[in-house]
Amino acid sequence: MLDFAPPGNGSSVHDLADLEDIGGVDNMTAFFGPKRDPLYVVIPVTIVYLLIFITGIVGNISTCIVISKNKSMHTATNYYLFSLAISDFLLLISGVPQEIYFIWSKYPYIFGELFCVIRGIAAETSANATVLTITAFTVERYVAICHPFLSHTMSKLSRAIRYIFAIWIIAIVSAIPQALQFGVTNQGGVDQCVVKRIIIQHSFELSTFVFFFAPMTLITVLYALIGLKLRSSALMQRDGTLQKRNNNCPHARQQGTSQGTRRVLKMLGEL
């Protein structure tokens, strides 16, 4: 009876490569797990993935067609939505079909080195473009609400187009070094698409900070400022309405002023 040591406890890659020849499928399963989960798990997950894929493809294509065909919808907001639809479509096309295949056959990786890299570039580009688009849209909303005079000095549509082009260039350029680190390696006689080389040290941590934590922090701060601005505007509007009523009713002026002061203090306390 053959005795195999598990990976990491003294076994070599050469020993793993001979597993299939020596021990057959049972030993491959012992090291890499089953090639497929039970059907009661695989079938429902496949159905969910297919529904996501179909609805996502139809929805994003429809969004792009509607925006491009109707000139009345050629606005900065809709252009950002168009960019988001493109990034979602790219992620669906590059990711979901492969994931469905992996549900039915976890290994080996059969798509080759080129597809492994291209899929990584597409996925990274899509994720980066989505985050940057949402961030740029938030900045646009902040400028429009909190600094309306500055917003009116420039053409919103032309600015949005420039931002979107810059977003996609940054997304692609930043995705390439990340994706080129992946490749197909043979581990234990099984091809897998994994990190094959290191191009940039700590690239994954850097990408997480640049395209997740930093944008999320900025978005949170800007929406907080937008909320404060809207609350302040609502307060000023109510006070203006109250002032008009007081002018028509002099006896209620002093009472209205004190009520307005209390509302201001209450809102400041809530903030």
Q: What is the CATH number of the domain that holds 144?
A: 1.20.1070.10
Q: Per the domain annotation, does 260 fall within a domain?
A: no
pLDDT at 104: 86
Q: Which residues contact 26 (CB under 8 A, 6 or more apart)?
A: none
Q: Per the domain annotation, does 225 fall within a domain?
A: yes
Q: Which residues contact 184 (CB under 8 A, 6 or more apart)?
A: 109, 112, 113, 116, 191, 192, 193, 196
- Judge contact between 122 and 94, C-beta under 8 A: yes
H runs (alpha helix) in the chain: 13-17, 19-23, 25-32, 39-69, 76-104, 112-146, 148-152, 156-179, 203-208, 214-248, 253-270
pTM summary value:
0.72
pLDDT at 32: 64
Q: Per the domain annotation, does 270 fall within a domain?
A: no
CB neighbours (10 Å) of residue 76? 20
Q: Per the domain annotation, does 173 fall within a domain?
A: yes
d(CA 270, CA 248): 31
d(CA 37, CA 104): 8
pLDDT at 197: 84
pLDDT at 248: 55
Mean pLDDT of successive 10-residue stretches along the chain, which has 271 residues: 40 42 55 74 91 94 93 88 93 88 83 87 92 91 79 69 93 90 81 82 86 92 88 68 53 46 42 40
Q: Per the domain annotation, does 265 fall within a domain?
A: no
- Judge contact between 94 and 126, C-beta under 8 A: yes
pLDDT at 21: 46
Q: Per the domain annotation, does 68 fall within a domain?
A: yes
d(CA 130, CA 92): 13
- Judge contact between 174 and 207, C-beta under 8 A: yes
Q: Per the domain annotation, does 159 fall within a domain?
A: yes
Q: Which residues contact 230 (CB under 8 A, 6 or more apart)?
A: 145
Q: Per the domain annotation, does 181 fall within a domain?
A: yes
pLDDT at 245: 54
Provide the number of structural domains found in the chain.
Answer: 1
Domain residue limits at 158 = 28-232
- Judge contact between 255 and 242, C-beta under 8 A: no
